[in-house]
Amino acid sequence: MKEQVMFNTPDSMDSLMGWINAHSGDTRIHVMTGAMMMYNLIGRDYREESEMLQKLLSGGMVISVNPEAPHEFGLVADDGELVLCATDWSLFIEECKCLE
């Protein structure tokens, strides 16, 4: 997942809340609703991703990164066989989901 460069990334939740609270009335409600909906979405996706990776890793798989191309990720079985390879983390996660 890459940052959306068109938007500022706050340094902390306090910083985000300060920006939200600088708005008033209905605007604050809409901004807060959108921010918290995204917070919940990212939290859910993170938990699901973590659980899936823990399951694969507890089954003897390991994640490898190509030292010559650090953006390439592989999933290697305990016998050393390359199970899958992807050129970016999002693609890697999608491929891992297919193994479940």
Under 8 Å CB-to-CB from 98, ≥6 apart: which residues? none
> 8: which DSSP letter?
-
- For 37-68, letters b (16+ CB in 10 Å) and e give eeeeeeeeeeeeeeeebeebeeeebeeeeeee
- What is the pTM for the complete model shown? 0.66
pLDDT in tens, 1-55: 678 889 989 999 999 999 999 999 999 999 999 999 999 999 999 999 999 888 8
Spatial distance between the Cα atoms of 98 and 49, rounded to a whole number of angstroms: 12
At residue 65's C-alpha, the angle toward residues 3 and 78, to 5°, is 130
